[in-house]
Structure 1
Protein backbone atom coordinates (compact mmCIF):
# COMPACT_ATOMS: atom_id res chain seq x y z
CA UNK A 1 0.00 0.00 0.00
CA UNK A 2 1.29 3.50 -0.79
CA UNK A 3 1.64 6.07 2.00
CA UNK A 4 -0.91 8.48 0.51
CA UNK A 5 -3.57 5.79 -0.01
CA UNK A 6 -6.72 6.23 2.09
CA UNK A 7 -8.74 3.47 3.73
CA UNK A 8 -11.39 3.87 1.07
CA UNK A 9 -8.81 3.63 -1.71
CA UNK A 10 -7.32 0.46 -0.25
CA UNK A 11 -10.52 -1.54 -0.51
CA UNK A 12 -11.59 -3.31 -3.70
CA UNK A 13 -14.81 -2.51 -5.50
CA UNK A 14 -16.34 -0.45 -8.27
CA UNK A 15 -16.43 3.29 -7.59
CA UNK A 16 -19.85 4.90 -8.06
CA UNK A 17 -22.18 7.55 -6.73
CA UNK A 18 -23.62 6.69 -3.33
CA UNK A 19 -27.15 6.93 -4.72
CA UNK A 20 -26.38 4.26 -7.33
CA UNK A 21 -24.99 1.57 -5.03
CA UNK A 22 -28.17 -0.26 -4.05
CA UNK A 23 -29.65 0.05 -7.55
CA UNK A 24 -26.49 -1.42 -9.09
CA UNK A 25 -26.55 -4.23 -6.54
CA UNK A 26 -30.13 -5.11 -7.42
CA UNK A 27 -29.39 -5.08 -11.14
CA UNK A 28 -26.34 -7.26 -10.68
CA UNK A 29 -28.11 -10.02 -8.76
CA UNK A 30 -31.03 -9.90 -11.20
CA UNK A 31 -28.74 -10.75 -14.11
CA UNK A 32 -30.23 -13.17 -16.63
CA UNK A 33 -28.49 -16.56 -16.50
CA UNK A 34 -27.85 -18.80 -19.46
CA UNK A 35 -30.10 -21.82 -20.01
CA UNK A 36 -27.85 -24.23 -18.09
CA UNK A 37 -27.09 -21.85 -15.20
CA UNK A 38 -28.95 -20.43 -12.25
CA UNK A 39 -29.09 -16.72 -11.49
CA UNK A 40 -26.51 -15.43 -9.00
CA UNK A 41 -29.38 -14.51 -6.67
CA UNK A 42 -30.00 -18.23 -6.13
CA UNK A 43 -26.72 -18.33 -4.16
CA UNK A 44 -27.30 -15.13 -2.22
CA UNK A 45 -29.28 -15.65 0.97
CA UNK A 46 -28.14 -13.08 3.51
CA UNK A 47 -28.62 -13.95 7.15
CA UNK A 48 -27.48 -10.65 8.69
CA UNK A 49 -25.88 -7.25 8.20
CA UNK A 50 -22.36 -6.49 9.38
CA UNK A 51 -21.24 -2.88 9.63
CA UNK A 52 -17.43 -2.66 9.56
CA UNK A 53 -16.69 0.80 10.94
CA UNK A 54 -13.13 2.11 10.57
CA UNK A 55 -11.57 4.95 12.54
CA UNK A 56 -9.04 7.44 11.16
CA UNK A 57 -6.14 5.63 12.85
CA UNK A 58 -6.81 2.49 10.83
CA UNK A 59 -4.04 1.99 8.28
CA UNK A 60 -4.90 0.98 4.70
CA UNK A 61 -3.17 -2.37 5.25
CA UNK A 62 -5.17 -3.03 8.40
CA UNK A 63 -8.40 -2.01 6.69
CA UNK A 64 -7.67 -4.40 3.83
CA UNK A 65 -6.97 -7.20 6.33
CA UNK A 66 -10.19 -6.59 8.27
CA UNK A 67 -12.17 -6.40 5.03
CA UNK A 68 -10.79 -9.76 3.88
CA UNK A 69 -11.73 -11.27 7.25
CA UNK A 70 -15.29 -9.99 6.82
CA UNK A 71 -15.48 -11.40 3.28
CA UNK A 72 -14.14 -14.79 4.40
CA UNK A 73 -16.75 -14.75 7.17
CA UNK A 74 -19.47 -13.97 4.62
CA UNK A 75 -18.51 -17.06 2.64
CA UNK A 76 -19.54 -19.17 5.63
CA UNK A 77 -22.36 -17.00 6.93
CA UNK A 78 -23.96 -15.08 4.04
CA UNK A 79 -24.40 -11.44 4.98
CA UNK A 80 -24.43 -7.92 3.64
CA UNK A 81 -21.29 -6.03 4.64
CA UNK A 82 -21.43 -2.25 4.98
CA UNK A 83 -17.99 -0.64 5.32
CA UNK A 84 -17.59 2.89 6.69
CA UNK A 85 -14.35 4.64 5.73
CA UNK A 86 -13.61 8.10 7.20
CA UNK A 87 -11.57 10.68 5.34
CA UNK A 88 -9.28 13.00 7.29
CA UNK A 89 -9.16 16.78 7.38
CA UNK A 90 -7.14 16.95 4.20
CA UNK A 91 -10.11 15.36 2.42
CA UNK A 92 -12.84 17.17 4.33
CA UNK A 93 -14.06 18.97 1.23
CA UNK A 94 -14.83 15.73 -0.57
CA UNK A 95 -18.40 14.48 -0.74
CA UNK A 96 -19.65 11.03 0.15
CA UNK A 97 -18.15 8.31 -2.04
CA UNK A 98 -19.50 4.87 -2.76
CA UNK A 99 -18.04 1.54 -3.81
CA UNK A 100 -19.63 -1.79 -4.50
CA UNK A 101 -17.86 -5.12 -4.17
CA UNK A 102 -19.57 -8.35 -5.10
CA UNK A 103 -18.16 -11.76 -5.90
CA UNK A 104 -19.32 -15.36 -6.11
CA UNK A 105 -17.09 -18.13 -4.79
CA UNK A 106 -17.30 -21.65 -6.17
CA UNK A 107 -16.59 -24.56 -3.85
CA UNK A 108 -15.16 -28.02 -4.60
CA UNK A 109 -18.40 -28.84 -6.37
CA UNK A 110 -19.79 -26.57 -9.07
CA UNK A 111 -23.05 -26.70 -7.11
CA UNK A 112 -21.34 -25.15 -4.07
CA UNK A 113 -21.41 -21.41 -4.52
CA UNK A 114 -21.61 -18.43 -2.20
CA UNK A 115 -22.13 -14.85 -3.31
CA UNK A 116 -20.82 -12.00 -1.14
CA UNK A 117 -21.49 -8.29 -1.26
CA UNK A 118 -19.94 -5.26 0.41
CA UNK A 119 -21.20 -1.68 0.17
CA UNK A 120 -18.53 0.88 1.02
CA UNK A 121 -18.99 4.48 2.07
CA UNK A 122 -16.17 7.02 2.11
CA UNK A 123 -17.19 10.05 4.14
CA UNK A 124 -15.59 13.27 5.42
CA UNK A 125 -15.43 13.26 9.20
CA UNK A 126 -17.54 16.41 9.37
CA UNK A 127 -20.44 14.33 7.96
CA UNK A 128 -20.18 11.58 10.58
CA UNK A 129 -23.40 12.69 12.22
CA UNK A 130 -25.34 11.73 9.08
CA UNK A 131 -23.92 8.22 8.83
CA UNK A 132 -26.82 6.56 10.59
CA UNK A 133 -29.28 7.71 7.93
CA UNK A 134 -27.12 6.51 5.05
CA UNK A 135 -26.38 3.17 6.68
CA UNK A 136 -30.07 2.54 7.37
CA UNK A 137 -30.74 2.87 3.64
CA UNK A 138 -28.09 0.28 2.81
CA UNK A 139 -29.06 -2.33 5.41
CA UNK A 140 -31.39 -5.23 4.76
CA UNK A 141 -33.90 -4.06 7.34
CA UNK A 142 -35.54 -7.41 8.00
CA UNK A 143 -32.23 -8.94 9.15
CA UNK A 144 -30.26 -8.53 12.40
CA UNK A 145 -27.35 -6.09 12.34
CA UNK A 146 -23.93 -6.43 13.96
CA UNK A 147 -21.47 -3.54 14.33
CA UNK A 148 -17.68 -3.95 14.29
CA UNK A 149 -15.77 -0.90 15.54
CA UNK A 150 -12.12 -0.69 14.48
CA UNK A 151 -10.05 2.13 16.04
CA UNK A 152 -13.03 4.37 16.70
CA UNK A 153 -12.24 6.49 19.82
CA UNK A 154 -14.46 5.69 22.78
CA UNK A 155 -15.51 9.32 23.11
CA UNK A 156 -16.65 9.36 19.48
CA UNK A 157 -18.63 6.16 19.97
CA UNK A 158 -20.35 7.67 22.99
CA UNK A 159 -21.11 11.08 21.49
CA UNK A 160 -21.80 10.24 17.84
CA UNK A 161 -22.41 6.56 17.22
CA UNK A 162 -24.73 5.29 19.95
CA UNK A 163 -27.57 5.26 17.42
CA UNK A 164 -25.75 2.42 15.67
CA UNK A 165 -25.24 0.54 18.92
CA UNK A 166 -28.87 0.72 20.01
CA UNK A 167 -30.04 -0.93 16.79
CA UNK A 168 -27.51 -3.75 16.78
CA UNK A 169 -27.81 -7.26 18.08
CA UNK A 170 -24.12 -7.20 19.00
CA UNK A 171 -21.22 -4.77 18.94
CA UNK A 172 -17.64 -5.99 18.70
CA UNK A 173 -14.22 -4.40 19.11
CA UNK A 174 -10.64 -5.59 19.64
CA UNK A 175 -9.04 -4.41 22.89
CA UNK A 176 -5.61 -5.40 21.56
CA UNK A 177 -5.66 -2.43 19.19
CA UNK A 178 -8.10 -0.01 20.84
CA UNK A 179 -7.28 2.64 23.43
CA UNK A 180 -7.87 1.58 27.03
CA UNK A 181 -10.96 3.79 27.39
CA UNK A 182 -12.93 1.46 25.09
CA UNK A 183 -13.40 -0.65 28.23
CA UNK A 184 -15.24 2.23 29.92
CA UNK A 185 -17.89 2.80 27.24
CA UNK A 186 -21.38 2.64 28.74
CA UNK A 187 -22.99 0.30 26.22
CA UNK A 188 -26.82 0.25 26.26
CA UNK A 189 -26.62 -3.54 26.64
CA UNK A 190 -23.22 -4.46 28.12
CA UNK A 191 -23.82 -8.16 27.49
CA UNK A 192 -24.05 -7.43 23.74
CA UNK A 193 -20.61 -5.78 23.52
CA UNK A 194 -17.93 -8.41 22.83
CA UNK A 195 -14.16 -8.16 22.75
CA UNK A 196 -12.51 -10.09 19.91
CA UNK A 197 -9.56 -10.72 22.23
CA UNK A 198 -11.92 -12.69 24.48
CA UNK A 199 -13.18 -14.67 21.50
CA UNK A 200 -9.63 -15.53 20.39
CA UNK A 201 -8.82 -17.29 23.67
CA UNK A 202 -11.75 -19.74 23.44
CA UNK A 203 -9.47 -22.79 22.84
CA UNK A 204 -7.32 -21.76 25.82
CA UNK A 205 -10.34 -21.38 28.09
CA UNK A 206 -11.60 -24.78 26.99
CA UNK A 207 -8.25 -26.52 27.53
CA UNK A 208 -7.67 -24.99 30.95
CA UNK A 209 -11.24 -25.72 31.98
CA UNK A 210 -10.86 -29.37 31.04
CA UNK A 211 -7.60 -29.67 32.99
CA UNK A 212 -8.87 -27.93 36.13
CA UNK A 213 -12.22 -29.77 36.18
CA UNK A 214 -10.49 -32.89 37.53
CA UNK A 215 -9.75 -31.17 40.86
CA UNK A 216 -12.01 -30.48 43.81
CA UNK A 217 -13.19 -26.87 43.95
CA UNK A 218 -11.96 -26.48 47.53
CA UNK A 219 -8.43 -27.34 46.41
CA UNK A 220 -8.57 -24.72 43.68
CA UNK A 221 -10.08 -21.84 45.67
CA UNK A 222 -9.10 -22.56 49.27
CA UNK A 223 -6.05 -20.69 50.54
CA UNK A 224 -5.45 -18.93 47.22
CA UNK A 225 -3.27 -15.85 47.70
CA UNK A 226 -2.66 -14.45 44.23
CA UNK A 227 -3.32 -14.94 40.53
CA UNK A 228 -1.00 -13.31 38.01
CA UNK A 229 -1.39 -13.19 34.25
CA UNK A 230 1.75 -12.11 32.42
CA UNK A 231 1.84 -11.15 28.77
CA UNK A 232 4.14 -9.85 26.06
CA UNK A 233 3.60 -7.08 23.52
CA UNK A 234 0.43 -7.48 21.48
CA UNK A 235 -1.36 -9.81 23.90
CA UNK A 236 -2.70 -7.42 26.53
CA UNK A 237 -6.29 -7.90 25.40
CA UNK A 238 -6.05 -11.68 25.63
CA UNK A 239 -4.30 -11.43 29.01
CA UNK A 240 -6.93 -9.11 30.46
CA UNK A 241 -9.76 -11.36 29.32
CA UNK A 242 -7.97 -14.47 30.56
CA UNK A 243 -7.54 -12.87 34.00
CA UNK A 244 -11.20 -11.90 34.09
CA UNK A 245 -12.25 -15.41 33.06
CA UNK A 246 -9.93 -16.99 35.67
CA UNK A 247 -11.35 -14.82 38.42
CA UNK A 248 -14.90 -15.71 37.40
CA UNK A 249 -14.08 -19.43 37.46
CA UNK A 250 -12.39 -19.23 40.86
CA UNK A 251 -15.28 -17.23 42.28
CA UNK A 252 -17.59 -20.04 41.14
CA UNK A 253 -15.27 -22.62 42.75
CA UNK A 254 -15.26 -20.69 46.04
CA UNK A 255 -19.05 -20.45 46.01
CA UNK A 256 -19.35 -24.18 45.33
CA UNK A 257 -16.93 -25.00 48.17
CA UNK A 258 -18.59 -22.45 50.50
CA UNK A 259 -15.36 -20.50 50.88
CA UNK A 260 -14.37 -16.85 50.70
CA UNK A 261 -12.04 -15.88 47.87
CA UNK A 262 -9.60 -13.17 48.97
CA UNK A 263 -6.89 -13.58 46.34
CA UNK A 264 -5.23 -10.69 44.52
CA UNK A 265 -5.70 -10.74 40.73
CA UNK A 266 -3.07 -8.81 38.77
CA UNK A 267 -1.92 -8.23 35.20
CA UNK A 268 1.76 -7.78 34.32
CA UNK A 269 3.58 -6.96 31.12
CA UNK A 270 6.64 -9.19 30.95
CA UNK A 271 9.78 -9.41 28.85
CA UNK A 272 9.89 -13.15 28.33
CA UNK A 273 9.61 -15.79 25.63
CA UNK A 274 5.97 -16.56 26.35
CA UNK A 275 3.02 -14.64 25.00
CA UNK A 276 0.91 -15.61 28.01
CA UNK A 277 1.52 -17.02 31.50
CA UNK A 278 -0.87 -17.72 34.35
CA UNK A 279 0.44 -18.38 37.85
CA UNK A 280 -1.50 -19.12 41.04
CA UNK A 281 0.10 -18.97 44.51
CA UNK A 282 -1.31 -20.48 47.71
CA UNK A 283 -0.68 -20.30 51.46
CA UNK A 284 0.88 -23.77 51.32
CA UNK A 285 2.80 -25.87 48.78
CA UNK A 286 0.03 -25.86 46.17
CA UNK A 287 0.88 -24.13 42.92
CA UNK A 288 -0.36 -23.70 39.36
CA UNK A 289 1.56 -22.43 36.31
CA UNK A 290 0.45 -22.36 32.67
CA UNK A 291 2.67 -21.02 29.92
CA UNK A 292 2.10 -20.51 26.21
CA UNK A 293 4.93 -20.05 23.75
CA UNK A 294 4.99 -16.83 21.74
CA UNK A 295 4.69 -18.74 18.46
CA UNK A 296 2.92 -21.93 17.52
CA UNK A 297 0.65 -24.10 19.61
CA UNK A 298 3.02 -25.21 22.37
CA UNK A 299 1.86 -24.71 25.93
CA UNK A 300 2.57 -26.42 29.25
CA UNK A 301 0.77 -26.68 32.54
CA UNK A 302 2.56 -27.49 35.81
CA UNK A 303 0.46 -27.90 38.92
CA UNK A 304 0.32 -29.34 42.40
CA UNK A 305 -3.00 -29.17 44.22
CA UNK A 306 -1.93 -31.37 47.10
CA UNK A 307 -1.97 -34.75 45.36
CA UNK A 308 1.45 -34.60 43.70
CA UNK A 309 3.08 -32.55 40.98
CA UNK A 310 1.66 -32.77 37.46
CA UNK A 311 3.44 -31.43 34.37
CA UNK A 312 1.79 -31.81 31.00
CA UNK A 313 2.22 -30.31 27.52
CA UNK A 314 -0.71 -28.81 25.67
CA UNK A 315 -1.31 -28.10 22.01
CA UNK A 316 -3.54 -25.07 21.95
CA UNK A 317 -3.63 -21.80 20.05
CA UNK A 318 -5.74 -18.75 19.41
CA UNK A 319 -8.74 -18.72 17.11
CA UNK A 320 -8.03 -17.53 13.59
CA UNK A 321 -9.65 -14.17 12.67
CA UNK A 322 -12.68 -15.61 10.86
CA UNK A 323 -13.41 -18.10 13.64
CA UNK A 324 -12.91 -15.43 16.29
CA UNK A 325 -15.36 -13.17 14.47
CA UNK A 326 -17.95 -15.96 14.39
CA UNK A 327 -17.38 -16.72 18.08
CA UNK A 328 -17.80 -13.05 18.99
CA UNK A 329 -20.97 -12.60 16.93
CA UNK A 330 -22.80 -15.80 17.71
CA UNK A 331 -21.47 -17.78 20.65
CA UNK A 332 -19.68 -15.56 23.17
Structure 2
Protein backbone atom coordinates (compact mmCIF):
# COMPACT_ATOMS: atom_id res chain seq x y z
CA UNK A 1 0.00 0.00 0.00
CA UNK A 2 1.23 3.47 -0.88
CA UNK A 3 2.51 5.66 1.91
CA UNK A 4 -0.03 8.37 1.05
CA UNK A 5 -2.91 5.91 1.55
CA UNK A 6 -1.41 4.76 4.84
CA UNK A 7 -1.11 8.34 6.07
CA UNK A 8 -4.66 9.09 4.93
CA UNK A 9 -6.14 6.16 6.83
CA UNK A 10 -4.00 6.98 9.85
CA UNK A 11 -5.36 10.54 9.84
CA UNK A 12 -8.93 9.23 9.60
CA UNK A 13 -8.33 6.84 12.50
CA UNK A 14 -6.81 9.63 14.59
CA UNK A 15 -9.71 11.95 13.79
CA UNK A 16 -12.27 9.29 14.74
CA UNK A 17 -10.41 8.60 17.98
CA UNK A 18 -10.29 12.28 18.97
CA UNK A 19 -13.98 12.68 18.11
CA UNK A 20 -14.90 9.71 20.32
CA UNK A 21 -12.82 11.16 23.17
CA UNK A 22 -14.56 14.55 22.94
CA UNK A 23 -17.99 12.93 22.95
CA UNK A 24 -17.04 10.66 25.85
CA UNK A 25 -15.82 13.56 27.95
CA UNK A 26 -18.45 16.16 27.03
CA UNK A 27 -21.70 14.28 26.27
CA UNK A 28 -22.71 12.21 29.33
CA UNK A 29 -25.32 9.85 27.81
CA UNK A 30 -23.83 9.36 24.36
CA UNK A 31 -20.37 9.22 25.93
CA UNK A 32 -21.25 5.91 27.57
CA UNK A 33 -21.52 4.35 24.12
CA UNK A 34 -18.49 6.09 22.61
CA UNK A 35 -16.43 4.83 25.55
CA UNK A 36 -16.75 1.39 23.95
CA UNK A 37 -15.61 2.81 20.61
CA UNK A 38 -12.35 4.37 21.78
CA UNK A 39 -10.16 1.30 21.01
CA UNK A 40 -11.93 0.62 17.70
CA UNK A 41 -9.93 3.04 15.45
CA UNK A 42 -6.66 1.45 16.62
CA UNK A 43 -8.14 -2.04 16.24
CA UNK A 44 -9.30 -1.46 12.66
CA UNK A 45 -6.05 0.30 11.67
CA UNK A 46 -3.93 -2.51 13.14
CA UNK A 47 -6.04 -5.17 11.45
CA UNK A 48 -5.53 -3.47 8.09
CA UNK A 49 -1.91 -2.31 8.29
CA UNK A 50 -0.17 -4.40 10.93
CA UNK A 51 1.54 -3.87 14.25
CA UNK A 52 4.33 -1.39 13.46
CA UNK A 53 2.20 1.28 11.74
CA UNK A 54 -0.33 0.95 14.56
CA UNK A 55 2.34 1.63 17.20
CA UNK A 56 3.44 4.74 15.29
CA UNK A 57 -0.20 5.84 15.14
CA UNK A 58 -0.55 5.36 18.91
CA UNK A 59 2.62 7.41 19.57
CA UNK A 60 1.46 10.19 17.26
CA UNK A 61 -1.99 10.11 18.91
CA UNK A 62 -0.26 10.44 22.28
CA UNK A 63 1.58 13.56 21.08
CA UNK A 64 -1.59 15.17 19.70
CA UNK A 65 -3.62 14.25 22.76
CA UNK A 66 -0.91 15.59 25.07
CA UNK A 67 -1.35 19.01 23.49
CA UNK A 68 -5.10 18.85 24.20
CA UNK A 69 -5.28 17.15 27.62
CA UNK A 70 -1.75 17.36 28.99
CA UNK A 71 -0.41 14.48 31.15
CA UNK A 72 -3.84 12.84 31.12
CA UNK A 73 -3.01 11.72 27.56
CA UNK A 74 -0.73 8.88 28.64
CA UNK A 75 -3.21 6.87 30.75
CA UNK A 76 -5.95 7.56 28.19
CA UNK A 77 -3.89 6.25 25.27
CA UNK A 78 -2.63 3.32 27.34
CA UNK A 79 -6.17 2.34 28.37
CA UNK A 80 -7.59 2.35 24.86
CA UNK A 81 -4.81 1.91 22.32
CA UNK A 82 -3.08 -1.09 23.90
CA UNK A 83 -6.14 -3.33 23.90
CA UNK A 84 -7.23 -2.13 20.46
CA UNK A 85 -3.84 -2.82 18.90
CA UNK A 86 -3.52 -6.27 20.49
CA UNK A 87 -7.05 -7.25 19.49
CA UNK A 88 -6.57 -5.94 15.94
CA UNK A 89 -3.30 -7.80 15.50
CA UNK A 90 -4.82 -11.07 16.73
CA UNK A 91 -7.77 -10.61 14.35
CA UNK A 92 -5.32 -9.92 11.52
CA UNK A 93 -3.60 -13.22 12.29
CA UNK A 94 -7.02 -14.92 12.19
CA UNK A 95 -6.79 -16.30 15.70
CA UNK A 96 -9.77 -18.08 17.26
CA UNK A 97 -12.39 -15.77 18.73
CA UNK A 98 -11.64 -16.88 22.30
CA UNK A 99 -7.91 -16.43 21.68
CA UNK A 100 -8.55 -12.88 20.51
CA UNK A 101 -10.68 -12.28 23.60
CA UNK A 102 -7.94 -13.59 25.88
CA UNK A 103 -5.30 -11.36 24.31
CA UNK A 104 -7.52 -8.29 24.37
CA UNK A 105 -8.56 -8.95 27.97
CA UNK A 106 -4.97 -9.29 29.15
CA UNK A 107 -4.03 -6.06 27.37
CA UNK A 108 -6.89 -4.08 28.91
CA UNK A 109 -6.31 -5.57 32.37
CA UNK A 110 -2.59 -4.75 32.15
CA UNK A 111 -3.43 -1.17 31.15
CA UNK A 112 -5.81 -0.86 34.12
CA UNK A 113 -3.16 -2.15 36.52
CA UNK A 114 -0.47 0.16 35.14
CA UNK A 115 -2.75 3.17 35.42
CA UNK A 116 -3.80 2.12 38.93
CA UNK A 117 -0.22 1.73 40.13
CA UNK A 118 0.84 4.92 38.36
CA UNK A 119 -1.93 6.88 40.06
CA UNK A 120 -0.74 5.70 43.48
CA UNK A 121 3.00 6.14 42.86
CA UNK A 122 3.01 9.36 40.85
CA UNK A 123 -0.07 11.19 42.13
CA UNK A 124 -0.50 9.67 45.57
CA UNK A 125 -4.14 8.92 44.73
CA UNK A 126 -5.66 5.49 45.21
CA UNK A 127 -8.64 5.29 42.81
CA UNK A 128 -10.30 2.54 44.86
CA UNK A 129 -10.11 4.66 48.03
CA UNK A 130 -11.62 7.60 46.15
CA UNK A 131 -14.49 5.42 44.88
CA UNK A 132 -15.08 4.14 48.42
CA UNK A 133 -15.23 7.69 49.76
CA UNK A 134 -17.74 8.75 47.11
CA UNK A 135 -19.92 5.71 47.80
CA UNK A 136 -19.79 6.26 51.56
CA UNK A 137 -20.89 9.87 51.10
CA UNK A 138 -23.72 8.72 48.84
CA UNK A 139 -24.92 6.07 51.30
CA UNK A 140 -24.64 8.54 54.18
CA UNK A 141 -26.75 11.06 52.28
CA UNK A 142 -29.35 8.38 51.56
CA UNK A 143 -29.31 7.34 55.19
CA UNK A 144 -30.02 10.93 56.28
CA UNK A 145 -32.88 11.20 53.80
CA UNK A 146 -34.51 7.87 54.68
CA UNK A 147 -33.74 7.85 58.39
CA UNK A 148 -37.23 9.01 59.24
CA UNK A 149 -38.68 5.78 57.79
CA UNK A 150 -37.61 3.75 60.80
CA UNK A 151 -35.03 1.12 61.74
CA UNK A 152 -36.09 -1.32 59.01
CA UNK A 153 -33.50 0.22 56.68
CA UNK A 154 -30.59 -0.22 59.09
CA UNK A 155 -29.67 -3.68 57.83
CA UNK A 156 -29.62 -2.47 54.23
CA UNK A 157 -27.33 0.42 55.09
CA UNK A 158 -25.05 -1.85 57.12
CA UNK A 159 -24.80 -4.22 54.15
CA UNK A 160 -24.01 -1.29 51.87
CA UNK A 161 -21.24 -0.06 54.16
CA UNK A 162 -19.82 -3.57 54.46
CA UNK A 163 -19.73 -3.93 50.67
CA UNK A 164 -17.98 -0.58 50.31
CA UNK A 165 -15.38 -1.60 52.91
CA UNK A 166 -14.71 -4.81 50.98
CA UNK A 167 -14.10 -3.00 47.68
CA UNK A 168 -10.45 -2.61 48.56
CA UNK A 169 -10.09 -6.39 48.86
CA UNK A 170 -11.89 -7.27 45.63
CA UNK A 171 -10.22 -4.64 43.42
CA UNK A 172 -8.30 -7.34 41.46
CA UNK A 173 -11.46 -9.23 40.50
CA UNK A 174 -13.11 -5.95 39.48
CA UNK A 175 -10.14 -5.19 37.21
CA UNK A 176 -10.37 -8.66 35.65
CA UNK A 177 -14.13 -8.55 35.09
CA UNK A 178 -14.09 -5.00 33.73
CA UNK A 179 -11.14 -5.71 31.42
CA UNK A 180 -12.67 -8.92 30.10
CA UNK A 181 -16.13 -7.43 29.62
CA UNK A 182 -14.69 -4.36 27.89
CA UNK A 183 -12.55 -6.53 25.61
CA UNK A 184 -15.55 -8.67 24.67
CA UNK A 185 -17.71 -5.67 23.76
CA UNK A 186 -14.91 -4.00 21.76
CA UNK A 187 -14.23 -7.23 19.86
CA UNK A 188 -17.92 -7.79 19.17
CA UNK A 189 -18.56 -4.23 17.93
CA UNK A 190 -15.44 -4.26 15.75
CA UNK A 191 -16.26 -7.65 14.24
CA UNK A 192 -19.76 -6.48 13.31
CA UNK A 193 -18.31 -3.40 11.63
CA UNK A 194 -15.64 -5.36 9.76
CA UNK A 195 -18.08 -7.95 8.45
CA UNK A 196 -20.63 -5.35 7.39
CA UNK A 197 -18.41 -2.64 5.90
CA UNK A 198 -15.51 -4.58 4.43
CA UNK A 199 -16.80 -8.13 4.17
CA UNK A 200 -13.93 -9.30 6.38
CA UNK A 201 -14.66 -12.77 7.75
CA UNK A 202 -13.60 -12.62 11.37
CA UNK A 203 -13.57 -15.68 13.56
CA UNK A 204 -16.95 -15.87 15.27
CA UNK A 205 -17.65 -17.03 18.77
CA UNK A 206 -19.37 -20.42 18.77
CA UNK A 207 -23.11 -20.41 19.58
CA UNK A 208 -23.67 -19.70 23.26
CA UNK A 209 -25.27 -23.14 23.72
CA UNK A 210 -21.86 -24.70 22.90
CA UNK A 211 -19.88 -22.70 25.44
CA UNK A 212 -18.30 -24.82 28.13
CA UNK A 213 -15.42 -24.37 30.54
CA UNK A 214 -12.78 -27.03 31.34
CA UNK A 215 -13.92 -29.52 33.96
CA UNK A 216 -10.99 -28.51 36.16
CA UNK A 217 -12.99 -25.40 37.10
CA UNK A 218 -15.13 -27.69 39.27
CA UNK A 219 -12.12 -28.40 41.49
CA UNK A 220 -11.15 -24.73 41.61
CA UNK A 221 -14.69 -23.89 42.68
CA UNK A 222 -14.74 -26.65 45.32
CA UNK A 223 -11.41 -25.62 46.82
CA UNK A 224 -12.43 -21.96 46.89
CA UNK A 225 -15.77 -22.87 48.48
CA UNK A 226 -13.96 -24.81 51.20
CA UNK A 227 -11.64 -21.84 51.72
CA UNK A 228 -14.63 -19.51 52.13
CA UNK A 229 -16.29 -22.01 54.49
CA UNK A 230 -13.26 -21.89 56.81
CA UNK A 231 -13.99 -18.16 57.28
CA UNK A 232 -10.42 -16.79 57.07
CA UNK A 233 -9.67 -13.67 59.04
CA UNK A 234 -10.44 -10.44 57.22
CA UNK A 235 -7.39 -8.84 55.65
CA UNK A 236 -5.30 -12.03 55.48
CA UNK A 237 -3.95 -13.44 52.22
CA UNK A 238 -6.45 -16.32 52.35
CA UNK A 239 -9.33 -13.89 52.83
CA UNK A 240 -8.26 -11.77 49.85
CA UNK A 241 -7.73 -14.87 47.68
CA UNK A 242 -11.19 -16.21 48.51
CA UNK A 243 -12.83 -12.81 48.04
CA UNK A 244 -11.39 -12.52 44.52
CA UNK A 245 -11.65 -16.13 43.34
CA UNK A 246 -15.22 -16.81 44.40
CA UNK A 247 -16.92 -14.11 42.27
CA UNK A 248 -14.99 -15.21 39.18
CA UNK A 249 -15.79 -18.89 39.67
CA UNK A 250 -19.43 -18.16 40.45
CA UNK A 251 -19.62 -16.16 37.21
CA UNK A 252 -18.10 -19.14 35.37
CA UNK A 253 -20.73 -21.49 36.78
CA UNK A 254 -23.54 -19.06 35.94
CA UNK A 255 -22.32 -18.79 32.32
CA UNK A 256 -22.09 -22.60 32.19
CA UNK A 257 -25.65 -22.86 33.53
CA UNK A 258 -27.08 -20.41 31.01
CA UNK A 259 -25.23 -22.19 28.20
CA UNK A 260 -26.88 -25.45 29.24
CA UNK A 261 -30.30 -23.77 29.32
CA UNK A 262 -29.79 -22.49 25.77
CA UNK A 263 -28.63 -25.97 24.72
CA UNK A 264 -31.66 -27.62 26.35
CA UNK A 265 -34.21 -25.44 24.56
CA UNK A 266 -32.33 -25.81 21.27
CA UNK A 267 -32.30 -29.57 21.73
CA UNK A 268 -36.04 -29.55 22.31
CA UNK A 269 -36.61 -27.37 19.24
CA UNK A 270 -37.96 -24.46 21.27
CA UNK A 271 -37.62 -20.79 20.43
CA UNK A 272 -34.52 -18.97 21.63
CA UNK A 273 -36.87 -16.48 23.29
CA UNK A 274 -37.48 -18.91 26.17
CA UNK A 275 -33.85 -19.06 27.44
CA UNK A 276 -33.45 -15.31 26.86
CA UNK A 277 -36.50 -14.63 29.07
CA UNK A 278 -35.12 -17.02 31.71
CA UNK A 279 -31.79 -15.17 31.62
CA UNK A 280 -33.43 -11.76 32.09
CA UNK A 281 -35.66 -12.98 34.93
CA UNK A 282 -32.72 -14.69 36.62
CA UNK A 283 -30.86 -11.40 37.01
CA UNK A 284 -33.97 -9.90 38.57
CA UNK A 285 -34.47 -12.81 41.00
CA UNK A 286 -31.25 -13.76 42.84
CA UNK A 287 -32.74 -17.11 43.96
CA UNK A 288 -33.24 -18.17 40.35
CA UNK A 289 -29.68 -17.13 39.57
CA UNK A 290 -28.52 -19.50 42.32
CA UNK A 291 -30.45 -22.31 40.61
CA UNK A 292 -28.71 -21.46 37.33
CA UNK A 293 -25.31 -21.61 39.05
CA UNK A 294 -26.12 -25.03 40.53
CA UNK A 295 -27.24 -26.19 37.09
CA UNK A 296 -23.91 -25.02 35.68
CA UNK A 297 -22.02 -26.98 38.35
CA UNK A 298 -23.99 -30.12 37.52
CA UNK A 299 -23.50 -29.67 33.78
CA UNK A 300 -19.77 -29.12 34.14
CA UNK A 301 -19.33 -32.01 36.58
CA UNK A 302 -21.49 -34.61 34.83
CA UNK A 303 -21.33 -33.32 31.22
CA UNK A 304 -25.11 -33.19 30.83
CA UNK A 305 -24.96 -31.93 27.26
CA UNK A 306 -22.85 -34.87 26.14
CA UNK A 307 -25.24 -37.27 27.84
CA UNK A 308 -28.23 -35.66 26.16
CA UNK A 309 -26.52 -35.80 22.76
CA UNK A 310 -25.79 -39.49 23.24
CA UNK A 311 -29.44 -40.29 23.89
CA UNK A 312 -31.35 -41.65 20.92
TM-score, normalized by length of structure 1?
A: 0.25
Structure ranking higher in strand proportion: 1
TM-score (norm 2): 0.26
Richer in helix (by share): 2
